[in-house]
């Protein structure tokens, strides 16, 4: 668990640093702009941030930090939920600005602190009528600000007010605030920043012309969340930095939640976090999921039980079956031998992964430029495809190869160069690259480049000659030569093609193997329980209720409950019977009929041991059970009491669910 | 693509079913009412006793199911500490499960149990119990927002403070409002407050928008228990149980027996008139002037004032309701359903 928390922290840190980096240029721009503004109207920056509201908190925090650092202004962050009325808004604003003051001036005299405290108390006391108090507050605030700022800066710094979620503010509050502050713009230099989730149109919809004419709006666009996702996947999944990896299905689930539900990077990270927690909690061998340096130590400290666990892993069993019999026995009985073997295998996995990532990037360079993107445009799609099954067996891969064969032009060379670059950087970074083959490829590629450039030289020179010499004989001769050279060039193109094919087959078949299939002990590193993840993140409470009510057998393992063909046995729990009967009704349900139907069903179930003497009592009990079941259905939201007709309830669902 | 087609067909069916269910305003159900059918209505107490005597079916299987859920407790603890909050869904009351979680794991730590199904619970009371009992703060706050801010500040300052909050039925009537959910979400987003809640309503997830969901940071757990909702439904005023809030026959009779003969006559007159008009859905009630006229004719009152005094008395006992119509005339109505009224009249006849 310690490791896991470490990992968690590591992960979050890297994520935060990445996010702040990605926003930095955007932030820089805004900052610069705030510095430059001159104030006649209220300068306003509209940040179009996209619908993933949950991710914006970080952006805004970063923005206000940057603004504060660059000596510019006092910054206040306002959220719609804190400002139901203009009074609250002003109070909040005041409070934040004052505390900003205190923060910034913390080294200065206590005078400022006292003043601010006074002011706050005063604002508390003066709740007589809101407009008066607001004007008073603003008025009284203004000189203090002036004084404060003029003592510190030669230029009065603007006061920035950030509206985090423009859409959820009430229009009246927003309008009033803008009108009020526009009155005081000369004494109090305000800058507004709106965070907009939808589109800039919303400004004009929320604010009438008279108000929006008081603003001088400039628009800023932030990165789309899809780009964020791909960078995050790049940073988190396609590195060898983290020993923990996601299986194909799990990744698919996470990406689907992102793309089809919420576009929220934060949720994606949460899902990833959950994967880590689940993995380290449920898999006893996850101790071994660590950096290469620690493997040895941990492998040796394994207990006997843990060794048994290793032996029980399906991938390990497959591995054992492939070995010769002497080694098999050793593996299955000798713990220390097993430990050594495990260590080797885990190192293999690490090496495999490093190779995998760099080759994946190469392949991505190839496939992402093909028309129609048979293997996907983004590297994450390629990653998923490779993780799920053998790529080279899929149709898409086949068509990729075909396309690549046809696409064989000079842009292919640039692609190859790109690949070389990737491989160069990766092989340069990772010293423990065991396969020397990369170098081989590199030289081959370089040859190719050299050849190509030579050819280009030749052709250029020949063309120059062509231009120079104008007599017919020479012309004919050079043209013939050119033709020949072209034929030979065709051959080199062919060569390139072959190259490629060799590349593909060679690399893919060797390194691109599916983790789940081919790697021994992959269970330690890969997390594959997609169903668990989906259940926890993207639950369907309605489906659960539906199955529980329709087939209680699913949960309560009792022979009596089993029944076939959509019906329900009369021995089911009361609520299931009542539910089933209610499904047969239309929009309104007569309680009396319902009760009778229920008692018929239940009586039939209890027929054998029912005695006529106490039928009255039995009646009462059935009645009571019915009442309980109905009120449970009401609690669950399937029905509600209706006033349309006496003793009727209305159904709130329709059809069979 | 076959599966896709089937799915599409299913969707189309669903849509059709919806419109079918809501197409005609005509309701095809029988006109039988409980009033005619039943000998007596059960009240809360007898219902409770009867249910106690009825054995719970499949007790063994349910126990198995619960044990399965209980094995997750330590996992929940871990996940709560890692910043997730846990929400339980599924059929059956999750009250006992949460209670067990509390007794087995939270005995030594500060925890707060909120019974969401309790009809008079408010967010204010939740916040108060946090500030007063957990934080030992005596004092009032102007608004819940301030209170939340105070709590947040305290929890941020003092990292040793930890609080487990267990909410039964987060989706109950009182807590499902937007503002209360917002406040609870804000609370739950604090790293040292661990929230574990249960929901039951099928539309419960509609309460949360994206912002709240991210504050809550839920981990969903399906815990279908099949336990009866004993506590939860005890507050649910069912149609079939005698309701204490509205007027019942017994109380009607009781009150009227303590009145004078003339007063009883006046009420009778009104009741009869209302029953005559019961088939007219737009019947606004009897206007005061007409009623006065009728009472005079029956020699029940002798002046406007006496009738008014009498009506005030009725109103105090919630026997009648006055409503001002569109034309400004006062209309009188008895807020009791027709069958009770019929029964009442029959009984009166017997007595006389």
| Chain B interface disruption, residue of A11, A625, A628, A641, most B CBs within 10 A | A628
Task: Give me the CATH number covering residue A23.
Answer: 3.40.50.300
The Cα of B112 is separated from the nearest Cα of chain A by a number of Å equal to: 24
Going by DSSP bridges, is the β-strand pair A159-163/A526-527 parallel, antiparallel, or unpaired? unpaired
What is the token pair recorded at B24? 């005609």
pLDDT (tens digit, 9 = 90+) per residue, A396-453? 888 877 777 776 666 766 777 777 677 666 655 554 444 566 566 666 666 766 666 6
Per-chain mean pLDDT for chain B:
80
pLDDT of amino acid A40? 56
Q: Please report, rounded to a whole number, the percentage of residues in chain A having pLDDT higher than 70.
A: 63
The Cα of A168 is separated from the nearest Cα of chain B by a number of Å equal to: 11
Contacts of A533 in chain B (CB under 8 A): none
Both A635 and A571 in one domain: the answer is: yes
The H-or-E segment that residue A511 falls in is helix A509-511
pLDDT of amino acid A482? 67
Domain final position from A476, A499, A526: A526
Higher pLDDT residue, A465 or A231? A231
Q: Which residues contact B212 (CB under 8 A, 6 or more apart)?
A: B181, B182, B185
Q: What is the CB neighbour count within 10 angstroms for residue B29?
A: 18
Of A266, A556, A647, nearest to B58 by CB-CB distance is: A556
Both A234 and A382 in one domain: the answer is: yes
Contacts of B236 in chain A (CB under 8 A): 631, 634-635
| Chain B interface disruption, residue of A557, A573, A610, A625, most B CBs within 10 A | A573
For residue A128, is it within any domain?
Answer: no
**Can you name the residues that pair with B195 across neighbouring β-strands?**
B165
pLDDT (tens digit, 9 = 90+) per residue, B184-213? 998 888 888 899 999 988 888 888 888 888
What is the token pair recorded at A314? 């399906």
- pLDDT at residue A519 tops 50: yes
pLDDT of amino acid B245? 45
Task: Give me the CATH number covering residue A634.
Answer: 1.10.10
Both A297 and A345 in one domain: the answer is: yes
Contacts of B35 in chain A (CB under 8 A): 646-647
For residue A327, is it within any domain?
Answer: yes
Mean pLDDT of the region A142-149:
44
Based on the structure, what is the number of domains in chain A?
Answer: 3
For residue A657, is it within any domain?
Answer: no
The Cα of B220 is separated from the nearest Cα of chain A by a number of Å equal to: 4
What is the token pair recorded at A169? 């503010």
Contacts of B217 in chain A (CB under 8 A): 270
CB spacing of A573 vs B58 below 8 angstroms:
yes
Both A209 and A291 in one domain: the answer is: no
CB spacing of B29 vs A588 below 8 angstroms:
yes
- pLDDT at residue B310 tops 50: yes
Both A286 and A364 in one domain: the answer is: yes
Contacts of A557 in chain B (CB under 8 A): 61, 64
Mean pLDDT of the region A71-91:
74
CA gap A524, A594 in Å, rounded:
56
For residue B221, the chain A residue with the least C-alpha distance is A536
For residue A596, is it within any domain?
Answer: yes
- pLDDT at residue A109 tops 50: no
Which of helix, strand or coil describes residue B86? strand
- Residues B341 and B274: beta-carbon distance below 8 Å: yes
- pLDDT at residue A489 tops 70: no
- pLDDT at residue A128 tops 70: no
Domain final position from A200, A223, A246: A223
Both A269 and A234 in one domain: the answer is: yes
The Cα of A482 is separated from the nearest Cα of chain B by a number of Å equal to: 55
Residue A299 belongs to what domain range?
A: 229-411+512-526
For residue A296, is it within any domain?
Answer: yes
- pLDDT at residue A635 tops 60: yes
Whether pTM exceeds 0.95: no
Both A208 and A175 in one domain: the answer is: yes
Q: Mutual orientation of helices A472-503 and A395-406 as an angle, nearest 10°?
A: 160
Both A234 and A218 in one domain: the answer is: no
CA gap B124, B263 in Å, rounded:
45
Both A292 and A176 in one domain: the answer is: no
CA gap B145, A81 in Å, rounded:
9
Going by DSSP bridges, is the β-strand pair B111-115/B163-168 parallel, antiparallel, or unpaired? parallel
Q: Put the strands of the sheet holding B85-89 in their side by side order.
A: B111-115, B163-168, B193-198, B85-89, B218-222
CB spacing of A54 vs B210 below 8 angstroms:
yes
3-state secondary structure A133-184: HHHHHHHHHHHHHHHHHHHHCCCCCCEEEEECCHHHCCHHHHHHHHHHHHHC
Q: Please report, rounded to a whole number, the percentage of residues in chain B having pLDDT higher than 90.
A: 3
Both A57 and A24 in one domain: the answer is: yes
For residue A628, is it within any domain?
Answer: yes
- pLDDT at residue B121 tops 70: yes
Binned at pLDDT 50, 70 and 90, residue A145 comes out as very low
Both A218 and A237 in one domain: the answer is: no
For B222, list phi and psi in degrees, rounded to 5. Answer: -85, 120
ipTM score here? Answer: 0.76
Both A364 and A326 in one domain: the answer is: yes
Domain final position from A223, A258, A281: A223
- Residues A141 and A109: beta-carbon distance below 8 Å: no
For residue A463, is it within any domain?
Answer: no
For residue A4, is it within any domain?
Answer: yes
- Which contacts of A363-371 are long-range, i.e. CB under 8 A and separated by 24 or more positions? A363/A508, A363/A512, A365/A415, A365/A418, A365/A419, A365/A422, A366/A400, A366/A404, A366/A415, A366/A419, A367/A400, A369/A407, A369/A411, A369/A415, A370/A400, A370/A403, A370/A404, A370/A407, A371/A403
Contacts of B205 in chain A (CB under 8 A): 541
What is the token pair recorded at A367? 């496939």
pLDDT of amino acid A150? 39
Mean pLDDT of the region A483-490:
58
- pLDDT at residue B28 tops 80: no
Binned at pLDDT 50, 70 and 90, residue B86 comes out as very high
């Amino acid at each position: 668990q310690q490791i896991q928390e470490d990992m968690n922290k590591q992960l979050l840190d890297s994520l935060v640093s990445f996010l702040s980096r990605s926003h930095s240029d955007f932030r820089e721009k805004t900052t610069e702009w705030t510095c430059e503004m001159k104030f006649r109207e209220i300068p306003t920056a509209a940040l179009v941030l996209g619908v993933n509201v949950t991710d914006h908190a970080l952006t805004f925090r970063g923005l206000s930090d940057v603004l504060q650092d660059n000596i510019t202004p006092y910054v206040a962050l306002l959220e719609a939920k804190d400002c139901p009325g203009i009074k609250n808004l002003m109070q909040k604003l005041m409070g934040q600005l004052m505390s900003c003051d205190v923060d910034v001036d913390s080294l200065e005299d206590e005078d400022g602190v006292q003043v601010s405290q006074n002011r706050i108390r005063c604002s508390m006391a003066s709740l007589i009528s809101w407009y008066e108090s607001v004007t008073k507050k603003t008025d009284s605030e203004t000189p203090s600000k002036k004084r404060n700022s003029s003592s510190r800066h030669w230029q009065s710094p603007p006061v920035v007010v950030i509206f985090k979620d423009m859409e959820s503010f009430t229009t009246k509050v927003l309008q009033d605030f803008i009108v009020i502050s526009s009155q005081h713009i000369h004494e109090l230099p305000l800058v507004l920043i709106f965070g907009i989730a939808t589109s800039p149109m919303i400004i004009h919809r929320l604010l009438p012309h008279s108000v929006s004419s008081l603003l001088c709006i400039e628009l800023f666009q932030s990165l789309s969340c899809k780009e964020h996702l791909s960078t995050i996947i790049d940073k988190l999944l396609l590195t060898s930095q983290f020993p923990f990896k996601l299986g194909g299905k799990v990744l698919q689930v996470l990406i689907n939640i992102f793309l089809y539900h919420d576009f929220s990077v934060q949720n994606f990270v949460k899902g990833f976090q959950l994967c880590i927690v689940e993995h380290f909690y449920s898999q006893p061998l996850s101790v071994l999921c660590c950096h290469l340096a620690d493997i040895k130590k941990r492998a040796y400290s394994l207990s006997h039980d843990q060794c048994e666990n290793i032996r029980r892993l399906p991938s390990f069993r497959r591995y054992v079956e492939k070995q010769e019999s002497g080694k098999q026995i050793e593996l299955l009985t000798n713990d220390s031998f097993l430990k050594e073997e495990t260590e080797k295998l885990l190192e293999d996995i690490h090496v495999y992964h490093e190779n995998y990532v760099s080759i994946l990037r190469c392949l991505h360079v190839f496939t992402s430029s093909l028309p129609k993107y048979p293997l996907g445009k983004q590297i994450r799609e390629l990653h998923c495809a490779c993780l799920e099954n053998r790529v080279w067996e899929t149709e898409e891969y086949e068509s990729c190869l075909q396309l690549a064969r046809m696409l064989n032009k000079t842009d292919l060379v640039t692609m190859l160069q790109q690949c070389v670059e990737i491989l160069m950087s990766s092989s340069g970074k990772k010293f423990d690259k065991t396969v020397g083959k990369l170098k081989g490829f590199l030289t081959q590629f370089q040859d190719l480049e050299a050849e190509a450039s030579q050819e280009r030289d030749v052709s250029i020179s020949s063309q120059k000659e062509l231009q120079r010499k104008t007599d017919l004989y020479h012309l004919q001769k050079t043209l013939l030569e050119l033709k020949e050279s072209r034929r030979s060039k065709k051959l080199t193109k062919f060569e390139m093609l072959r190259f490629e094919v060799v590349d593909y087959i060679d690399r893919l078949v060797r390194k691109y193997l599916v983790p789940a299939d081919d790697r021994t002990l992959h269970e330690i590193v890969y997390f594959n329980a997609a169903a668990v993840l989906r259940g926890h993140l993207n639950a369907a409470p309605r489906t659960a209720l539906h199955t529980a009510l329709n087939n209680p057998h699913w949960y309560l393992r009792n022979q009596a409950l089993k029944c076939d063909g959509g019906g329900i046995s009369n021995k089911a729990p009361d609520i299931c019977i009542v539910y089933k009967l209610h499904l047969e009704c239309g929009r309104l349900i007569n309680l009396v009929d319902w009760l009778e139907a229920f008692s018929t069903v239940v009586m039939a179930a209890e027929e054998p041991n029912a005695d006529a003497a106490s039928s009255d009592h039995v009646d009462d009990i059935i009645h009571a059970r019915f009442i309980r079941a109905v009120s449970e259905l009401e609690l669950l939201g399937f029905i509600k009491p209706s006033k349309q007709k006496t003793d009727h309830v209305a159904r709130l669902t329709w059809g069979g669910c | 693509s076959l599966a896709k087609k089937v799915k599409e067909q299913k969707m189309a069916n669903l849509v059709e079913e919806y419109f079918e269910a809501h197409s005609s305003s005509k309701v095809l159900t029988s006109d039988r009412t409980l009033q005619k059918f039943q000998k007596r209505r059960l009240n809360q107490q007898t219902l409770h006793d009867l249910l106690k005597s009825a054995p719970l079916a499949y007790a063994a299987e349910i126990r198995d199911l619960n044990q399965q859920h209980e094995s997750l407790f330590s996992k929940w603890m871990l996940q709560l500490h890692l910043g997730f909050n846990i929400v339980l869904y599924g059929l059956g009351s999750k009250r006992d499960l949460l209670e067990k979680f509390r007794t087995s794991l939270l005995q030594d730590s500060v925890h707060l149990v909120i019974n969401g199904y309790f009809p008079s619970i408010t967010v204010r009371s939740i916040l108060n119990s946090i500030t007063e009992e957990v934080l030992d703060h005596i004092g009032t706050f102007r608004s819940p927002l301030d209170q939340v801010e105070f709590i947040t500040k305290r929890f941020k300052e003092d990292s040793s403070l930890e609080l487990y909050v267990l909410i039964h039925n987060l989706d109950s009537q009182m807590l499902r409002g937007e503002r209360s959910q917002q406040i609870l979400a804000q609370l739950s987003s604090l790293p040292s407050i661990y929230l574990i809640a249960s929901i039951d309503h099928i539309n419960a997830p509609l309460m949360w928008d994206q912002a709240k969901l991210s504050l809550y940071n839920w981990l969903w757990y399906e815990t279908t228990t099949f336990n009866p909702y004993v506590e939860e439904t005890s507050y649910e005023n069912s149609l079939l149980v005698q309701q204490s809030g509205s007027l019942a026959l017994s109380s009607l009779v009781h009150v009227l027996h303590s009145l004078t003969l003339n007063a009883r006559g006046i009420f009778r007159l009104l009741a009869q008139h209302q029953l005559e008009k019961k088939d007219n859905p737009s019947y606004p009630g009897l206007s005061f002037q007409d009623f006065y006229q009728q009472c005079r004719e029956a020699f029940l009152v002798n002046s406007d004032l006496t009738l008014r005094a009498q009506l005030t008395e009725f109103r105090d006992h919630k026997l009648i309701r006055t409503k001002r119509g569109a034309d400004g005339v006062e209309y009188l109505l008895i807020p009791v359903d027709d069958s009770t009224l019929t029964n009442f009249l029959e009984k009166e006849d017997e007595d006389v």
